[in-house]
Amino acid sequence: MSDFTVVHQDKETHARCATIHTQHGLVHTPVFMPVGTQAAVKTLSAKELKECGAQIILSNAYHLYLRPGTDIIKNAGGLHNFMSWQQPILTDSGGYQIFSLALLRKFKNEGVEFQSHIDGAKHYLTPESIIDIQSVLGSDIIMPLDDCIEYPASYEMAKVAMERTTQWAQRSHAYYKKVQDKNACRQILFGIIQGSTYEELREASLEQLLGLDFFGYAIGGLSVGEPQDLRYTMLSFTAERLPANKPRYVMGIGMPEDILQAIECGVDMFDCVIPTRYGRNGTAFTSEGRMVVRNAEFKDDARSLDSSCACYTCKNYSRAYLRHLFNSSEMLGLRLVSLHNVHFFVAFADTIRRSIQEGKFLEFKEAFLSRYLSMARNN
Amino acid sequence: MSDFTVVHQDKETHARCATIHTQHGLVHTPVFMPVGTQAAVKTLSAKELKECGAQIILSNAYHLYLRPGTDIIKNAGGLHNFMSWQQPILTDSGGYQIFSLALLRKFKNEGVEFQSHIDGAKHYLTPESIIDIQSVLGSDIIMPLDDCIEYPASYEMAKVAMERTTQWAQRSHAYYKKVQDKNACRQILFGIIQGSTYEELREASLEQLLGLDFFGYAIGGLSVGEPQDLRYTMLSFTAERLPANKPRYVMGIGMPEDILQAIECGVDMFDCVIPTRYGRNGTAFTSEGRMVVRNAEFKDDARSLDSSCACYTCKNYSRAYLRHLFNSSEMLGLRLVSLHNVHFFVAFADTIRRSIQEGKFLEFKEAFLSRYLSMARNN
């Protein structure tokens, strides 16, 4: 498919650079996608996201379906117009949210019935309706409804969830094929591999989903509480079984060290709420590790968060000022650290991309980690 | 004094246009000054304030003295550097805050002892130390310590507060004269007229303070709970007794209609927390009145807050989107409406300035109010 092109393959690892062509433009991978669950990347404007270098952002079909509702977004001319973001958007189906946020869910008539986490109102969604919702949103990359379970899960529970995910994937794919031709906009559908931490289940999920020939594949069910070594084992096991000629996306990962690990396994796409969640709590990501802005050691520190950072926050504000904002409960503090963090993660993926192009991925990885982890341990 | 120049005097009213030369540049009046009490205009970056057209912003000596403390701002090279704002800053002394926020205050040895509203720690401030604090901050326009009381106040209470304000103004002025020559930066000191709602006390305050020949004069003690007609009577009574060759500043005012009234009385400068406070609560100021963004009527409204507004919010976002952000507790909503409101008030003063230059002040006032108040009443 010409819509996905591997432009550089690392010689020492599975790391690679690629491009994904979407209806709102090209995405260069490896790419970090900031998360705007409710049609807003928390605290940040569309202009700031662009200035941070974000190529593509994530939103969530379940959340937007519940609030503001698809009619309102339809009348706004789709999600891009609604949130004033004209670059690519990937929408997660919200399978994870239905299973973690929604109340009293139960399977019924080939779908799932649940109560809204917002107002308790009853709703019923199917794999097909989740595709319809995302058609209305008009997102560039869409995800099928899946059953994503937490860690730890018993083998039996994990098997049931994996098999349900496969059945829903089959229905999603069939329905997508049927409606896609009628849509004005071209949307890209990914498959999601589940199977918790069981290699046998991951293998079965792969086998069942690869046959459906999705445009790309996501690895779901990681970063849900499992220990790091198990995460890396599953990541590597799953990623290396995914076809090389399709984009690979690991959902909800993660910390810089996890992203490096996943890229080494050949993963192309990442999303995570970490930059904004940590930003709101006053923790900044820097090339020298994490920094708790409120710490007393920064009270008189005239330096920027990260001397090697080109974001608006680092170009204009000192650690002392940011600490003052957090101590004074000034919302500007959350904003400025969130902005810095999003910039950090986006630029981090950009730098990795360049290192792969220059044949220096492992060299960069080692240099980054030795600098980053030395201080991260102290925080 | 060449530092203050009246460049246009309206023929029908006391309204006028003037310039104030400060060490960080010219200020064109009438001017609205956004309030950044704790060295931040709530939710907004310095870049956004500039883009809103803000010429000068306000901060507060009492708040900054308590947190982060003057040493930290001194080490940052002053308040302008600390908050990354290189245009003029006016600092209020914090007299009002000492009397409204601080705990267990008492007068002692020619100063005021109080407990911090933040941590209960004891502090002692004098008119002289308030001048010293503002020297360290390096603000362009500084205010003396005053005794600002709420409405209603008995004549006796108001008299005591007015007389204390005068004594402190005398000491502030004398001390300012003494230390100003030693300062690297040139700061402008205003006097503050008090006297509550008693013409006799306002007159006495004027008489005592005009003799001291301050650079400019502020009208304090209004917008503290008094009814509008009494506010307008006091405003007019005080403003017309202030010298024409000096800037006039009414503190803490206010609503658009109050600003128009004050400009008609010859007032040049305004500050108020209304734009950001209302913005955080989801109320937008528009040329057609106030708008409660969360109202159901806007749920599908694709229009901007104000079709005649050129701010970032109005150029990019719909009422429907802003309503969604407020309903979803997304901080971006507070930001975008605060940004719009600050832009509205700054642009409002700019438009009034142009109307005075064109000899059309009363015409503008009437046209604005008939449009603005017709809808404001409905909200």
Q: Per the structure block, which two tokens stand in for B29?
A: 């009046």
pLDDT the model gives residue B378 = 46
Q: Within a 13 Å sphere around the CA of B218, how many CA atoms are in the beta-carbon half?
A: 28
B308 and B221 both lie in a single domain: no
Which residues of A are less than 8 Å from B71 in CB distance?
300
pLDDT the model gives residue A375 = 65
Which residues of B are less than 8 Å from A320 in CB distance?
68, 72, 75-76, 82
pLDDT the model gives residue A182 = 83
A106 and A46 both lie in a single domain: yes
A304 and A326 both lie in a single domain: yes
Structural domains of chain A, count: 2
pLDDT in tens, A214-267: 999 999 999 999 999 999 999 999 999 999 999 999 999 999 999 999 999 999
pLDDT in tens, A279-308: 999 999 999 999 999 999 999 999 999 999
Contacts of A1 (CB under 8 A, 6+ apart): A215, A245, A246
pLDDT in tens, A337-360: 999 999 999 999 999 999 999 999
Q: How far apart are CA A18 and CA A353, in angstroms?
A: 9
Q: How confident is the model at residue A131 (pLDDT cuts 50, 70, 90)?
A: very high
pLDDT the model gives residue A378 = 46
Average pLDDT, chain A: 96
In eight-state DSSP terms, residue A35 is B
Nearest to A76 among B44, B302, B334 (CB): B302
Q: Per the structure block, which two tokens stand in for B297?
A: 């009527």
Q: Classify residue A281: in a domain, yes or no.
A: no
pLDDT the model gives residue A205 = 98
CA distance A6 to chain B (A): 35
Three-state secondary structure call for residue A124? strand
Q: How far apart are CA B55 and CA A91, in angstroms?
A: 42
Catalytic residue among A92, A140, A146, A306: A92
Three-state secondary structure call for residue B128? helix
Determine how β-strand A141-142 pairs with β-strand A188-193: parallel
pLDDT the model gives residue A2 = 57
Three-state secondary structure call for residue B86? coil
Q: Do B253 and B262 form a contact (C-beta atoms < 8 A)?
A: yes
Whether A84 and B316 lie within 8 Å, measured CB to CB: yes
Give the CATH number, domain containing residue A87.
3.20.20.105
A247 and A352 both lie in a single domain: no
pLDDT the model gives residue B102 = 81
Last residue of a domain, one of A272, A306, A326: A272
Q: How confident is the model at residue A379 (pLDDT cuts 50, 70, 90)?
A: very low
A204 and A335 both lie in a single domain: no
pLDDT the model gives residue A324 = 98
Q: Do B364 and B10 form a contact (C-beta atoms < 8 A)?
A: no
| Model pTM score | 0.97
A318 and A249 both lie in a single domain: no
Q: Classify residue B277: in a domain, yes or no.
A: no
Q: Classify residue A279: in a domain, yes or no.
A: no
B292 and B207 both lie in a single domain: no
B331-357 vs B256-264: helix crossing angle, rounded to 10: 20
pLDDT the model gives residue B58 = 98
Q: What is the mean pLDDT of each run of 10 residues along chain B (379 residues)?
A: 88 98 97 98 98 98 98 98 98 91 84 93 96 98 95 97 96 96 87 98 98 97 96 98 98 96 98 98 97 97 97 98 98 98 98 98 98 69
Q: Classify residue B292: in a domain, yes or no.
A: yes
Query: Mean pLDDT throughout A45-54?
Result: 98
B235 and B123 both lie in a single domain: yes
Nearest to A325 among B40, B47, B324 (CB): B40
B161 and B310 both lie in a single domain: no
Q: Which of A81, A82, A332 best tests the B interface by mutation, with the highest count of B CBs <10 A?
A: A332
B157 and B136 both lie in a single domain: yes
pLDDT the model gives residue A10 = 98
Q: Classify residue A280: in a domain, yes or no.
A: no
Which residues of A are less than 8 Å from B72 in CB distance?
299-300, 320, 324
pLDDT the model gives residue B375 = 65
Is pLDDT at A376 greater than 60 in this prediction? no
Beta bridge mates, B269: B31, B249
Interface of A with B in 252-271 (CB under 8 A): none
Q: Classify residue B184: in a domain, yes or no.
A: yes
Q: Do B26 and B20 form a contact (C-beta atoms < 8 A)?
A: yes
B263 and B317 both lie in a single domain: no
Residue B357: give the domain boundaries.
282-376
Is pLDDT at A103 greater than 50 in this prediction? yes
Taking CA–CA distances from A319, the nearest residue in chain B reads: B82
Q: Classify residue A95: in a domain, yes or no.
A: yes
Q: Classify residue A278: in a domain, yes or no.
A: no
pLDDT in tens, A308-329: 999 999 999 999 999 999 999 9
Total count of residues recorded for chain B: 379
Which residues of A are less than 8 Å from B300 in CB distance?
71-72, 75
A237 against A102, higher pLDDT: A237
pLDDT the model gives residue A105 = 87
A64 and A150 both lie in a single domain: yes
Is pLDDT at A181 greater than 60 in this prediction? yes
CA distance A230 to chain B (A): 35
Last residue of a domain, one of A215, A238, A272: A272
Give the residue numbers of B marked as catalytic: 92, 271
Is pLDDT at A109 greater than 80 in this prediction? no
Contacts of B125 (CB under 8 A, 6+ apart): B62, B65, B98, B111, B112, B114, B145
Last residue of a domain, one of B247, B272, B297: B272
Is pLDDT at A185 greater than 80 in this prediction? no
pLDDT the model gives residue B1 = 44
Long-range CB contacts (within 8 A, 24+) of B179-186:
B179/B131, B179/B132, B179/B135, B183/B135, B185/B23, B185/B78, B185/B135, B185/B138, B186/B23
- Which of A133, A80, A124, A76 has the alpha carbon at shortest distance from A104? A124
